[in-house]
Structure 1
Amino acid sequence: MTIRPLRFGIWALVHGSRAAYQDPEEPYDASWERNRDLVLAAEALGYDSTLIAQHTINPHQEDLDQLEAWSAAAALAALTSRIEIIAAIKPYLYHPVVLAKLALGIENISQGRFAINLVNAWNRPELDRAGIGFAEHDARYAYGREWITVVSRLMQGERLTYKGEHFDVRDYVLRPASLYRPRPLIYVGGESEPARALVADHGDVWFINGQPLEDVAGLIADVAARPRAGAPLRFGLSAFVITRETHAEAQAAYERLLDLSKKDAPIKAIQKQNTDPKVVMMQTMQKSARVGSNGGTAAGLVGSYDEVAARIRAFHAAGIELFMLQFQPFEAEMERFAKEIIPRVHAAPPTKVNDRPTLVTGAC
């Protein structure tokens, strides 16, 4: 397996804090202004990417603010100069012709720094209450496969005629196509069998939810071995980072956030009620205590500066190229990571694939 250079990204705070909503060090704030300033600060600190999750209504509590992903992505494309901008998309919310046109617009505003993250939805009310309907798990992936087929070909500038179960596109072409490369990149999330098949066939990068290195290595091996056309698949990992000068300090910070997160139990109950039980991400996240979303601290990036840097190198050796990171309080911890961890990661020799991190007790 070819191991590409490491990249580090941040989750935009589209629905506020990622670890605990009732944290006095990080009051709830999902505003455009906060996210704008956060991404601009990340770019200045040297981060390579940002992921803007898509929800039309807040997935945890409907009366909480929720940033809109695609308008924010377009605005960030105009304000930034280097950082990659990834906007998540749930296929049922946009017709593929419309979405392809939006993606190409942001691609050209950003001068070739835009990507889409295909996710097939888990929050039932978001679709049901709009009258769209929430299809069964595998049916959503079948729809998404047809949807991304149309989007990908249109983003490449192809004049497309396509007839499928869900879409009937006739002699359609979008101009301008990408002015900077063949098309925007396609990231794919999800770990079920239909998700793995989809990313092998249509994705450029597979986003894996935070979990221990052994599990991540197994997922990579499975999907990397599948036949596909074009360039080899690349891999990204979501992770929540808690790092301090010493192991004990990091563990104490973890315990603080874990205790605070318990106050969000009513919100988590709403999320569980609204979630399709077949979504593998949610099954993975229930395996153990953790802080953060999308696996969070289950990836084991809790510890001293040297410990966290070593674990990142081990994941990189296993094939992870992009780490999409969460912190809390976000701005201060994002800066700490840029100052203390990124230089350590780049200064050390590559870690062998068979090296394994020592996970912090209670952090995964």
Structure 2
Amino acid sequence: MTATALRFGVWALVYGTWGARQHPDEPVDASWARTRDQIVEADRLGFDATLVAQHEVNPAGDHYDQLEAWTTSAALAALTENIEIITAIKPALYHPVVLAKQALQIEEISGGRFGVNVVNAWFKPEIARAGLPFLEHDARYAYGREWLTIVQSLIAGRRTTFHGRYFDIDDYQLVPASRYRDRPAIYVGGESEPARELAKDFADVWFVNGQPEEDVRRLVDDVAARHRTGRRLRFGLAAFVIGRESDREAADELDYAFDLASRDVAETESVLSNADPNAEMFKTFARHPHVGTNGGTAAGLVGSYDTVAERILRFGALGIETFMLQFQPFESEMRRFAEEIIPRVRRLERLAA
């Protein structure tokens, strides 16, 4: 088991929902007001982090609302006290100098509670319709490596010069740098070989999509075994949680969730038709039916409160330290998790110490 206390985060509701769009108790609502209230409450409940996903247009259809990630994160940073704000970024959409400056500003607003989550773009229309080049999969990672080399240097307060295939940066420095630590945290997502190498070389935390324990074990062991200098690489897992008094109740709720999700056929087909077929995560998703995004319920955090807590500890034993969670209906299930499951996890951690 990891010696560090396990951390729990929530996905911000920037899409309007992370589950079925037909759920009778959760209307699709991607408003600022809802996300503000959700994350302020998550902060009060003791969650450790929130992940603010980035899309400029909603992948389920551009008729759906979509909250902008970076302005939202700046506002959340000002309104919260303890929760870490982790904001996703697709390198194709922002020049590294601009992004680094924004990251340092949110680091300042938050008092040192900010993290950048670098993700490879998979939703082609978002990039191509803006007139930007949508590079093939491995080329996007080569671009992202240059981009992240520059961002990492700038957010660390270093005067930066870089000349590569995609960027030319001459004697650039951003001030103020972080007043609270060396730099904001860097998270990296993606499970392809180029993504693993990027995480090994740059990440403080590598995010793994929700999937069964043995698959997570193989991924964590592979990247942990790669030679790395500097700080220790940590690991995070995305998961959709369904916790109930009994395993039977939770299984029934999962069946209901699958039934509701099956009514979103048009939206699901739209997402898949516009996704890069070489994106590794969609290959993973095809192997593991699930509810939620980024693997969701495939992580197996479905069951009684005790069952879910025990499964979380098993993932912790594999090296997972941060759990980034989805629920539906989000707010009420977030409260249930905080009240019923987190105390059980803490009790198990104490017993294992």
Normalised to the residue count of structure 2, the TM-score between the two structures is 0.98
Which residue in 1 is equivalent to 2:110? 110
Distance 1:349 1:184 in 2: 28
Which residue in 2 is equivalent to 1:93? 93
> What letter is aligned with 1:142?
A
Distance 1:121 1:41 in 2: 30
Which residue in 1 is equivalent to 2:257? 257
Which residue in 2 is equivalent to 1:348? 348
Distance 1:102 1:293 in 2: 27
Which residue in 2 is equivalent to 1:147? 147
> Mapping of 1:100-179 within 5 angstroms?
100-179=100-179
Structure 1 residues 206 and 326: alpha-carbon distance in aligned structure 2, compared to 1, 3 A threshold: same
Does 1:339 find its partner at 2:334? no
| Cα contact 1:317–1:350 (8 A) shared by 2 | no
Deviations 1:204-246 (A, max 9, x none): 1000000001110110100001111111100000000001001
Which residue in 2 is equivalent to 1:362? none
Structure 1 residues 292 and 169: alpha-carbon distance in aligned structure 2, compared to 1, 3 A threshold: same
Distance 2:34 2:332 in 1: 14
| Cα contact 1:103–1:114 (8 A) shared by 2 | yes
Which residue in 1 is equivalent to 2:191? 191
| Cα contact 1:313–1:351 (8 A) shared by 2 | no
Which residue in 1 is equivalent to 2:79? 79
Residue 230 of structure 1 aligns to a residue whose secondary structure is coil
| Cα contact 1:51–1:324 (8 A) shared by 2 | yes
Which residue in 2 is equivalent to 1:322? 322
Deviation at 1:18, TM superposition (A): 1.0
Which residue in 2 is equivalent to 1:360? none
Gaps of 5+ in 2: none
Distance 1:10 1:300 in 2: 17
Distance 2:56 2:350 in 1: 41
Which residue in 1 is equivalent to 2:182? 182
| Cα contact 1:70–1:87 (8 A) shared by 2 | yes
Distance 2:238 2:277 in 1: 21
Distance 1:4 1:229 in 2: 21
Deviation at 1:3, TM superposition (A): 3.8
Deviation at 1:4, TM superposition (A): 2.1
Which residue in 1 is equivalent to 2:231? 231
Deviation at 1:258, TM superposition (A): 0.6
Which residue in 1 is equivalent to 2:270? 270
Residue 44 of structure 2 aligns to a residue whose secondary structure is helix
Which residue in 2 is equivalent to 1:297? 297
Residue 287 of structure 2 aligns to a residue whose secondary structure is coil
| Cα contact 2:241–2:297 (8 A) shared by 1 | yes
Deviations 1:61-81 (A, max 9, x none): 111000000000000010011
> Mapping of 1:196-207 within 5 angstroms?
196-207=196-207
| Cα contact 2:2–2:317 (8 A) shared by 1 | no
Residue 322 of structure 1 aligns to a residue whose secondary structure is strand
Deviation at 1:269, TM superposition (A): 0.4
Which residue in 1 is equivalent to 2:57? 57
Superposition RMSD in Å: 1.1
- Name the % identity: 60
> What letter is aligned with 1:186?
I
| Cα contact 1:313–1:350 (8 A) shared by 2 | no
Distance 1:234 1:311 in 2: 19
Which residue in 1 is equivalent to 2:42? 42
